[in-house]
Structure 1
Amino acid sequence: MQIFAASYLLPISAPPLAGGALAIDNGRIVDTGTLAELRAAHKAPVHEFPGCVIMPGLVNAHTHLELTHFPSWKIRKDIDYAPRTYVDWVIQVIKIRRNLTPQELELSVHEGFRISLESGTTALGEILSDRALLPLYAASPFSGRLFLEAIGHDPVQCSLLLARIGESLEAFPCGNLLPGLSPHAPHTLSSAFLQDIKRLADKKSLPIAIHLAESREESAFLHDTSGKIAELLYPFVHWEAYLPPPRRTTPTAYLDDLGALDSATMAVHCVHVTGADAEILKKRGVSVVLCPRSNEKLDVGKAPAYLLKKAGIPLALGTDSLASNDSLSMWDEMRFLRREFPGVFTPAEVLAMATLEGARALRVESDTGSLEKGKRGDFLVVKPSAPASPTDLPEALIEESQLEEVFIGGNPLEYRLR
C-alpha cells in the first residue's frame, strides 16, 4: 500500500478536499480523506506533492489512434492536399488508409498511446477498424472501451464482417479495455447491417458508439439522398447500387426508427441535431460525446451544446483523431470547449466531461473517472500556476497548470512528461 497526498484532492465525484490524500493497494484505491486521516488509518509510505492537485486520469471518450500518424502519411503518400469539404476529407482518409502497411499502423497506434498518456489520458473510447491490432491494445495500460468498427452495404461482405467481429469478441481479452461495437455512421452502413450490429451488441450486453449528425452532407443524404455523399463518396467506394430512396428524415430519427438508440448508445459529434432530435436522444437515454476542435477543423459546424445540455443529455468530451485535430490533449479540448461555448459550461462541468462523464458514457464509471474507493488508482498530479481557492480550482487546472506526473494503478509512468 502507498499513500499519495497533495495540497488538494479533487475526486470529481465530490468537492475538492484541502490536504487530501488517497491510499492505493494492488492498483486500486482503498481509501481517501485528509493526509492526517489516512496516516492514522494505514501504515504505508507517503508520497507528498505540495502545491499540487491530485485528480483522476482524463477520459478521452472518442479516439481513432490508428490515425495518429495521419499528418505525416499525407506527405509520404503524396496525398497532401487540403480537402474543401467534409466528404473530400473522408475520401482523402480512405485513400491514405488503403496504402498503409501493418507496420505503419502499429507505429501509429503506439505513438497515439504515448501522446495520450503524456497528456494525462488514462482511459479511452477507442474506435478500432483493423482487428489485427487488438494485441497492441491488450498490452496497453489504458482502461475504457475498444469499439470494433463496422462499415458496409454489400450483404455478403456485411455477413462476413459480422461473423469476424463476433469471433473477435469471443477471443477479446484485451487488457483493461472492455469491448464495444461501432457501426460507423447512419450513411455508411445498410439499415439491415446496422440492425445486425445492434442485435449483436444487445446479445453481448455491449455499448455502441456511432458517429451521428456530424456534417451537413450527412443530414442532406438522410433527407433526400442528395449532396456529396451520394455524388462523390458512394461512387468512390463502389456503393452506387446501394443508394437509398429519399428518407425525408434526420440521422437521429432514422436511427431511432431502426431501434438503434438506447441507454447503451454513445453518439459522437451530434453537430446537426434539431430540438426534436434532442428530445429523442434524451428519451432514449443516449450519451453524447462532443469533439469541438474536430468539428471546427473540418468546418462541419458547431454542436448545439446549450440545447443538448438544457435537454439533460449526458455529455462527454473527445479529441477524435489527428486526421481531424491538432493534438490528442484533453486539456486542449477542454480549453477550446470553453472558448467555443462561452458561458454554457462551468469549469467544474468541463472537468467532469473529461473524466467522470466520459467514463459514464463508456459505461466504465465503476472502474474509473473519479477518485473513489474500489476504482483504479489512475490519477494525475497537476500543479496550478498560482494558488487557487476550492471554488477557482477547476478553472485554474484547465487554464493555467502544469501536468507533473501520471500514475496508472498507483505506479508512475516510466517516461518523462516534458
Structure 2
Amino acid sequence: MVSYISASYVYPVSAAPLKDGVVAIDSEGLIKEILTATEAASKGITDITYYKGALVPGFVNTHCHLELSHLKGKIAKHTGLPGFVEQVIRQRQAEETEVIAAMEEADRKMYENGIVAVGDISNKLISKEVKEISGIHYHTFIETMGFNPVKAEEMIKAAVELKNAFLPLPASIVPHAPYSVSDELFRQIRTEGEKSNDLISIHNQETPDENAFFEHKTGSFLKLYQFLGLNIDFFEATGKTSLVSCLSKLSTAQKTLLVHNTFTNKSDLDFASAHHQSLYWCLCPNANLYIEDKLPELQLLQEANVTITLGTDSLASNDQLSIIEEMKTLQDYFKISFDELLKWATWNGAAFLGIEDHFGSLAVGKAPGIVLLEIVDNSVDNPVDNYVDILITGKIKRIA
C-alpha cells in the first residue's frame, strides 16, 4: 500500500528542494514517487498527510564510538585531547552489562534522531550484537594502534581476527591516529586494506599537541606516553605537521576519512589535495568544543572544496549522538546554508560509506529513511529567487 506525505519543503538532496512537495512511500519506506504539488494535484492525489517543516533523508553519522557510550557525563570538558585520552583510559573499564545497556540506549537514540547509517570505531567485539539487531546500518572500523614498531605484527594479527569476528557485518581495519601508529603498523594496515580496497578512517589534527609532536617532538603527548609507560626514544620529529607526515602512509586507492581536522591549515589542505584524491573530511563540532573548546577553520575547508561529512564522536565527548545537533552547532558558529549542511549530513556520508544506492538522498527506488525537521524560514536573508535559507530549530521526528 502506498501512502503520500508532504511538508512545507521536501529536500531530496540529489535534486532541488520542492516547496509543498509530495513523497509516495510503501509500507517498507521505499520511495515510489516524488512529485511537485502541481503534479500531485494533476494526478488527483488527495489523501496526503501534510507536515509543517522539511522532509529530508535519514542522516549518516560517519564517526562514532558506540563502545564508549557508558562514559556519558563522566569525562571532564576542555581538558585537551591528551588529558581526555588519559581520562578515558582510567575510566573505560566497566561491567559488560553496563557497557551493552549504554550501547543499546545510544543506538536507540540515534535511530530516533533520524540517523540511518553509522561509521563506528571499535576496539572490541562487544558492539556486534547491538549492531546485528539495530535498525541502523553500521560499518565498523577496527581501530588499530601501537606506536612501538616491534609490536606491529601482533597488532595487525589481532585486528584481522577482530574483523573476521564481526562478519557478516561490514568492517575494515584502520589506524587510530598518526601519533599512535608506528610506520610498520601503518604499512601492515595498508597491505591488509588494499586486499579488498577497504574504507579507511583516521583521527586527524584534533589537537595542537599533535602537530607539535611531529614538528618538534614537544607538547602534551610526551606526558601521555609517559603515563602509558611507553619509551619513544626511537621517534624523531619530522619537522612537518602530522597530516603531512602520515598521509603518504595511506593508500591513495582507498577512500579515506580524516576525522576532526580541528587544527588543519591551508598548507595541509593543499598537500592533501595534491597527494590523495579520495579524501573525505569529517567534522564533529560538538566533540571539538567538548575536548579542545575549538572548532575547525571551516572557511578553509570550504575554500579548498573538500568533501565534508559529519560525525558525533562518542558520548564520552558529546552530550548526545545527534547529527541535527552537529548541524545546529555549525549554523550557530558559521554562516552555512541549510542545503550545504544537509548534503554533508546525508549524501556525502553515504558516498564515503559506499551506501549511496540505499541512503543519502530521497529518490525513487530507495528507502533512505525520511526525517521531519521543524524549521524556520530566514526571510531576512533570501538572496536568490526560489531559495530559502533555513534555520534549524532542532525538533525532529522520524517519518519512515
How far apart, CA to CA, are the structure 1 residues paired with 2:247 and 2:378?
49
* Aligned residue in 1 for 2:31: 29
- Which residue of the other structure, out of 173, 176, 183, is the alignment partner of 1:181? 173
Scaled by the length of structure 2, the TM-score of the pair is 0.87
* Aligned residue in 1 for 2:314: 321
Identity over aligned pairs, percent: 27
How far apart, CA to CA, are the structure 2 residues paired with 1:323 and 1:201?
29
* Aligned residue in 1 for 2:126: 132
Q: Which moved more, 1:367-376 or 1:210-219?
A: 367-376
How far apart, CA to CA, are the structure 1 residues paired with 2:112 and 2:64?
15
Displacement of 1:259 in angstroms is 3.7
Q: Which moved more, 1:243-252 or 1:30-39?
A: 30-39
Q: Aligned in 2, Cα 1:40/1:377: closer, same or farther, shift over 3 Å? A: farther
* Aligned residue in 2 for 1:55: 56
Q: CA RMSD in A?
A: 2.9
How far apart, CA to CA, are the structure 1 residues paired with 2:131 and 2:150?
29
How far apart, CA to CA, are the structure 1 residues paired with 2:348 and 2:356?
8
Scaled by the length of structure 1, the TM-score of the pair is 0.84
Q: Aligned in 2, Cα 1:120/1:323: closer, same or farther, shift over 3 Å? A: same
SS at match of 1:164: helix
Q: Aligned in 2, Cα 1:201/1:374: closer, same or farther, shift over 3 Å? A: farther
- Which residue of the other structure, out of 374, 378, 395, is the alignment partner of 2:369? 378
Displacement of 1:311 in angstroms is 1.0
* Counterpart residue type for residue 136 of structure 2: F
Q: Aligned in 2, Cα 1:382/1:336: closer, same or farther, shift over 3 Å? A: closer
SS at match of 2:5: strand
How far apart, CA to CA, are the structure 2 residues paired with 1:120 and 1:367?
15
1:87 aligns with 2:82: yes
* Aligned residue in 1 for 2:271: 280
* Aligned residue in 1 for 2:225: 234
Displacement of 1:158 in angstroms is 3.5
* Aligned residue in 2 for 1:3: 3
SS at match of 2:177: coil
Q: Aligned in 2, Cα 1:144/1:32: closer, same or farther, shift over 3 Å? A: farther
1:152 aligns with 2:143: no
SS at match of 1:141: coil
Q: Aligned in 2, Cα 1:105/1:111: closer, same or farther, shift over 3 Å? A: same
* Aligned residue in 2 for 1:194: 186
Q: Which moved more, 1:203-212 or 1:108-117?
A: 108-117
How far apart, CA to CA, are the structure 2 residues paired with 1:110 and 1:214?
28
- Which residue of the other structure, out of 321, 325, 331, is the alignment partner of 1:332? 325
1:271 aligns with 2:266: no
Question: Could you list the per-position Cα deviations for residues 268-324 of structure 1 after superposition, in whole angstroms to 9, with x for gaps in the alignment?
Answer: 011222222101322312110011221122126331211111111101111211222
Displacement of 1:27 in angstroms is 5.1
How far apart, CA to CA, are the structure 2 residues paired with 1:280 and 1:25?
48
Q: Aligned in 2, Cα 1:29/1:159: closer, same or farther, shift over 3 Å? A: farther
1:203 aligns with 2:195: yes
- Which residue of the other structure, out of 99, 110, 131, is the alignment partner of 1:105? 99
* Counterpart residue type for residue 329 of structure 1: S
* Counterpart residue type for residue 382 of structure 1: L
Displacement of 1:334 in angstroms is 0.8
CA contact (8 A) 2:163 2:173 kept: no
Displacement of 1:262 in angstroms is 5.6
Displacement of 1:95 in angstroms is 0.8
* Aligned residue in 2 for 1:166: 160
SS at match of 1:288: strand
* Aligned residue in 2 for 1:67: 68
* Counterpart residue type for residue 340 of structure 2: E
Question: Could you list the per-position Cα deviations for residues 156-197 of structure 1 after superposition, in whole angstroms to 9, with x for gaps in the alignment?
Answer: 65423322332343454456xx32333110001111112211
* Counterpart residue type for residue 303 of structure 1: P
Q: Aligned in 2, Cα 1:185/1:242: closer, same or farther, shift over 3 Å? A: farther
For structure 2, the residue ranges without an aligned partner over 5 or more in a row are none
Displacement of 1:31 in angstroms is 3.2
SS at match of 2:72: helix
Displacement of 1:128 in angstroms is 1.3
How far apart, CA to CA, are the structure 1 residues paired with 2:270 and 2:52?
44
* Counterpart residue type for residue 119 of structure 2: G
Q: Aligned in 2, Cα 1:304/1:276: closer, same or farther, shift over 3 Å? A: same
1:123 aligns with 2:125: no
Q: Which moved more, 1:311-320 or 1:27-36?
A: 27-36
Q: Aligned in 2, Cα 1:171/1:82: closer, same or farther, shift over 3 Å? A: closer
Displacement of 1:387 in angstroms is 11
Q: Aligned in 2, Cα 1:63/1:281: closer, same or farther, shift over 3 Å? A: same
SS at match of 1:200: helix
How far apart, CA to CA, are the structure 1 residues paired with 2:84 and 2:355?
32
Question: Could you list the per-position Cα deviations for residues 221-259 of structure 1 after superposition, in whole angstroms to 9, with x for gaps in the alignment?
Answer: 1112222112x1112222214651121111111122324
* Counterpart residue type for residue 265 of structure 1: T
Displacement of 1:20 in angstroms is 1.5
Displacement of 1:129 in angstroms is 1.6
CA contact (8 A) 2:280 2:309 kept: yes
CA contact (8 A) 2:114 2:371 kept: yes
How far apart, CA to CA, are the structure 2 residues paired with 1:134 and 1:157?
26
For structure 1, the residue ranges without an aligned partner over 5 or more in a row are 75-79, 408-418
Question: Could you list the per-position Cα deviations for residues 38-87 of structure 1 after superposition, in whole angstroms to 9, with x for gaps in the alignment?
Answer: 799999x9662343432101112211122223135x3xxxxx66664321
